[in-house]
Amino acid sequence: MRYLPKSDSERRAMMDACGIDSPEALFAHLPAAARLGRALELPAGISEYEIVDYFRRRAAENANGYASFLGAGAYNHFRPVLVDAVASRGEFLTSYTPYQAEISQGVLTAIFEFQTMICQLTGMDVANASMYDGSTAVPEAAMMAARLTGKGKALVARSVHPEYREVLYTYAKNQGMPVEEFGYVPETGTLDLEDLERKIDGLTAAVIVQSPNFFGVVDQVKAAGEIAHRSGALLVLIFTEAVSLGILEPQAEADIVAGELQSFAISPSYGGPFAGIIATREKHVRQIPGRLVGQTTDSRGNRAFCLTLSTREQHIRRERATSNICTNQALIALMATVFMTVYGKQGLRELAEQNLAKAHYLAGKLKPRFAGGFFNEFAVRLQGKTPEEANKSLLKKKIVGGLPLGRFYPELSDSMLLCATEMSRRPDMDALSEILGLAAR
Partner 1 sequence: MIHNVRTHISQNEALLFERSSPGKRAYQLPELDVPPVDALAALGAGNVRAGIDGFPEVSEVEAIRHFTRLSTWNYAIDHGMYPLGSCTMKYNPRVNELVARIEGLAWAHPYQPEALAQGSMEVMARLEAMLAEITGMDAVTLQPSAGAHGELTGILLIRALLEKRGDPRKKILVPDSAHGTNPATAAIAGYAVENIKSTETGLLDVSALERIVDQDVAALMVTNPNTLGVFEENIARAAEILHAKGAMLYMDGANMNALVGIARPGDFGVDALHLNLHKTFSTPHGGGGPGAGPVAVKKALEPFLPVPRLKRSGKRWAWDYKRKRSIGRVRAFYGNFGVLVRALAYILAHGGPGLRNATVDAVMNAVYIRKRLEPYYDLPYGSPNMHEVVFSDARQAAHGVRTGDIAKRLIDYGFHPYTVSFPLIVHGALMIEPTETEGKAELDSFIDAMISIAKEAETDPQLVKNAPYNTRTSRVDEVSAARKPVLRWKGGEG
Closest by CA position to 73, among listed 362, 327, 403? 403
Mark the segment that binds partner 1 (CB under 8 A) among 100-108, 149-157, 179-187, 197-205. 100-108
Shortest reach from residue 198's CB to partner 1, in Å? 26
Q: Does 125 bind partner 1 (CB under 8 A)?
A: yes
Position 296 contacts partner 1 (CB under 8 A): yes
CB of 348: closest distance to partner 1 in angstroms? 7
Q: Is 180 in the site for partner 1 (CB under 8 A)?
A: no
- Note whether 21 binds partner 1 by CB under 8 A: no
Name the amino acid, one letter, at 244.
S
Residue 371 within binding range of partner 1, rule CB under 8 A: no
Residues from 235 through 254 that contact partner 1 (CB under 8 A)? 246-250
* By the rule CB under 8 A, 43 interacts with partner 1: yes
Which residue in the set 263, 391, 415, 433 belongs to the binding site for partner 1 (CB under 8 A)?
Answer: 391
Backbone Cα Rg of the chain: 25
Q: Which of 67, 77, 119, 409 binds partner 1 (CB under 8 A)?
A: 119
67-68 and 399-400: which strand pairing? parallel
**Which residue type does 356 have?**
L
Distance CA 144, CA 322 (A): 8
167 binds partner 1 (CB under 8 A): yes
Figure out which of the listed residues 183, 232, 347, 406 binds partner 1, where binding follows CB under 8 A: 347
Closest by alpha carbon to 92, among 83, 5, 242? Answer: 83
Distance between CA atoms of residues 433 and 32, nearest Å: 67
Judge contact between 227 and 193, C-beta under 8 A: yes
Are the C-beta atoms of residues 140 and 152 closer than 8 Å to each other? no
Among the listed ranges 181-189, 195-203, 224-232, 324-332, the one in contact with partner 1 (CB under 8 A) is 324-332
Q: Does 320 engage in binding with partner 1 (CB under 8 A)?
A: yes
Determine, following the binding rule CB under 8 A, whether residue 403 of this chain makes contact with partner 1: yes
**What pairing do the DSSP bridges indicate for beta strands 276-280 and 256-260?**
antiparallel
Q: Which of residues 186-215 bind partner 1 (CB under 8 A)?
A: none
Q: Is 321 in the site for partner 1 (CB under 8 A)?
A: yes
Residues 6+ apart with CB under 8 A from 167: 135, 136, 138, 139
CA triplet 289, 216, 274: central angle to 5 degrees? 40
Nearer to partner 1, 182 or 343 (CB): 343
Q: Is 367 in the site for partner 1 (CB under 8 A)?
A: no
Binding of residue 384 to partner 1 (CB under 8 A):
no
CB-CB contact of 140 with 323 (8 Å): yes
Under rule CB under 8 A, residue 295 binds partner 1 = yes
Q: Does 375 bind partner 1 (CB under 8 A)?
A: yes
One of 8, 34, 150, 411 touching partner 1 (CB under 8 A): 34
User: Of 158, 309, 393, 406, which lies in the binding site for partner 1, with binding defined by CB under 8 A?
Assistant: 309
What sign does the CA torsion over 312, 314, 319, 322 have? positive
By residue count, the chain amounts to 441
Rounded Cα–Cα distance for residues 176 and 152 (Å): 8
- For β-strands 234-239 and 204-210, DSSP reports them as parallel
Segment contacting partner 1 (CB under 8 A): 183-191, 192-200, 202-210, 321-329? 321-329
Among 201, 230, 252, 269, binds partner 1 (CB under 8 A): 269
Distance between CA atoms of 326 and 291, rounded to whole angstroms? 8
